[in-house]
Amino acid sequence: MGEEDSRSYLASYWSSYKAYWIERFKNLDKYKQIYSRDKPLPKWTEADVEEFVQSDPVYGPQLQLTREAAKISAAGSLVGAVSTAGVAMKYSKNGLGTLLSFGAGAAFGWVFGKEVANHTLQLYKFDTMDAQIKFFNWWEKKTEGRS
């Protein structure tokens, strides 16, 4: 295999590798709509979210389910953190170990709670980020007149 063939092979490999990772991270474009703003959106309340839920028959219920899933995940995080820290404190009586188990338990509990919410609320049937983007777009249009 000559030097030119080697370069051609590497270029082909790199382009397919690059395309593979672009496909995997294309969802990051959705986050750019939220975090790459010149001026941040004003704060919203639960009443604003409820108004969106009532006004959008497709994305409103999806956003409501997404918010319920976050509450379930937070509860799982709390249970995981307290239970693992309690076990660590009971058996090791080491402050640093208890602190580390508290953090790890919170992380594991969040993930477990997220999975429970995903299956019980059937979040796998839709893209939850789309509902959040629709809410942000709705909120932006609603607050355009305000400063």
pLDDT along the chain (147 residues), means of 10: 64 79 79 79 91 94 95 96 95 91 96 95 91 91 73
At residue 54, the pLDDT reads 95
pTM confidence score: 0.73
Residue 131, CA atoms < 13 Å, CB-side half-sphere: 21
- Name residues whose C-beta falls within 8 Å of residue 100's C-beta, 6 or more positions apart in sequence: 88
What is residue 32's predicted lDDT score, i.e. its pLDDT? 78
